[in-house]
Structure 1
Amino acid sequence: MKFTYLIIILITIQSCNNAQKSDVETLESTTQLEEEASSTKEVNKIELQQKGDYSRLFAKDSNCKLSLDEVATIFALSSGQIKTNIEEMSPCRFNITYRDGGEGYFAITVSALPNKSVQKEIENKLSNSYQKDFIKKSDTGDHYIFKHPNQGYLLLLNPNYDNVVKIQYRTMLVSDLTQTQLEILEQRGYHTANYLIAKYQD
């Protein structure tokens, strides 16, 4: 009888050990999955520390975000080389005559987009294997700037605000521009984005 009890006790102990081992393995597996999920979330997480109030920057109104003189300064041209071209569909557009005699245009528009859609747009671009190479933080570190790879414009996005600011720094047709000229115009576009952030930071 004692032998039988001893067998039962040993079996019970073994069962408990197996159960504890299973619980530990399950806990370790769950912890690992949580860490992996947390790591993935961290990669796609929008981490921007806001440096001010940018309500005026993203406000959709009839006022142009830049004056003619400001555009001239950005492009290192005289005011006489830039002409304001007010159109109903594009109230903030400028026709530009460059120093080499070439012509182009520059425009700023604010497009309506709900805040949640702005956040989703940023997340998609950050996680997309192709588009992530064209999005970066602003100089202030509290906005994202996305460059369209071939259409000559930038998008200024802030996950805390509705709407998107579009900066068109050249036309889509650029067959008559050299690579150096294209790079200069692109730099003007980025300069404009950071200038707007500084100007409308409250």
Structure 2
Amino acid sequence: MMKTKHISTIVLVVLSLTSCGNSEKKEKTDSEAVPVGMHEAKTETVKASEQNDIDLKQRGDYTQLYAESEDCKLTISQLAKALGYNDNQVEEQSNYQGSCWYKVTHPDNFTVNYGISLEKWGDKAIVEDQIKSGLKNDLIDVQVSESGDTYLKRHPVQGFVLLLNSNYGNPIKISNSYLNTNGHKLTEAQKEERKQNTYKIANYLINAYKN
């Protein structure tokens, strides 16, 4: 009777060990059943998706906009139209090899200087890096132009705006300068108007040069 009991115990242990072994073998087999390269393919897909995040559908040919020129990118009349002001509110101050400054008198009778210049980077990779870094930084304001094909990146401190299009290696820079000659400080509404004017100029430039 005692011998039969021992034999039964041994049989149960053997069955238990066999069951565990089969379970481990099944788990190993399931793991090995994943095709080689599956994980690598998934990683490549993610990277490809990240690479295409900055791509925008182009609405025109902007070769002339991003080309070097001795002429100002906008005339006095064009800049006035971009801002919705009269021609007599805009005055061209300087033109140095196509880098131009305009003196603009706002409706509230305060004056701001706006500059339009070409940044001669000559490298699409730098433009792409500027777009990517701006999109990742919550402190930097990056908008898409009204045309939907250009990034408008604002410097968080100096307030200038860069027109960044990954199809071209040279961005356009729109600057602004307020000369506080009489001690008057801009109100928050006036600062916002100045800020929005840089975007108006940017969008007007894109539409004016779209071919």
Counterpart for residue 55 of structure 1: 63
Equivalent residue number for residue 144 of structure 2: 137
| Counterparts of 2:28 and 2:76, CA distance in 1 | 76
1:17–1:99 Cα change, 3 Å: closer
Q: 2:204 aligns with which of 191, 195, 201?
A: 195
Task: Indicate yes or no: 2:156 matched with 1:149.
Answer: yes
Instruction: Measure the CA separation in 2 of the matches of 1:52 and 1:42.
Output: 24
* Equivalent residue, structure 2, for 1:165: 172
Structure 2 CA distance for aligned equivalents of residues 101 and 16 of structure 1: 83
Task: State the TM-score, normalized to the length of structure 1.
Answer: 0.78
Q: Which one has a bigger Cα radius of gyration?
A: 2
Unaligned ranges ≥5, structure 1? 1-9
Q: Is the 8 A contact 1:156 1:193 kept in 2?
A: yes
Paired residues of 1:105 and 1:171 also in contact (CA < 8 A): yes
CA distance in 1 between counterparts of 2:32 and 2:148 reads 45
Over the residues paired in the alignment, what is the CA RMSD in angstroms? 3.2
| Contact 2:91–2:103 (8 Å) recurs in 1 | yes
Matches of 2:161 and 2:184, distance apart in 1: 20
Please report the TM-score for the alignment, with normalisation by the length of structure 2.
Answer: 0.75
Shift of 1:75: 2.9
Paired position in structure 2 for 1:3: none
1:106-155 per-position Cα deviation (integer Å, ceiling 9, x unaligned)? 11000011111111111111123433xx1021111111001122323111
Query: What count of residue pairs does the alignment treat as equivalent?
Result: 188
For structure 1, which segment, 76-85 or 101-110, has the greater mean C-alpha deviation from structure 2 after superposition?
76-85
Q: Distance in 1 between matches of 2:210 and 2:50?
A: 28
Task: Please give the secondary structure, in 1, of the residue aligned with 2:166.
Answer: coil
Q: Give the one of 66, 78, 82 matched to 2:74.
A: 66
Are the structure 2 counterparts of residues 109 and 36 from structure 1 closer, same or farther at C-alpha, using a change threshold of 3 Å?
Answer: same
CA distance, structure 2, for counterparts of residue 172 and residue 121 of structure 1:
29
Q: Gapped runs of 5+ residues in structure 2?
A: 1-17
Q: Is the Cα contact below 8 Å between 1:51 and 1:140 reproduced in 2?
A: yes
Q: SS of the counterpart of 1:50?
A: coil
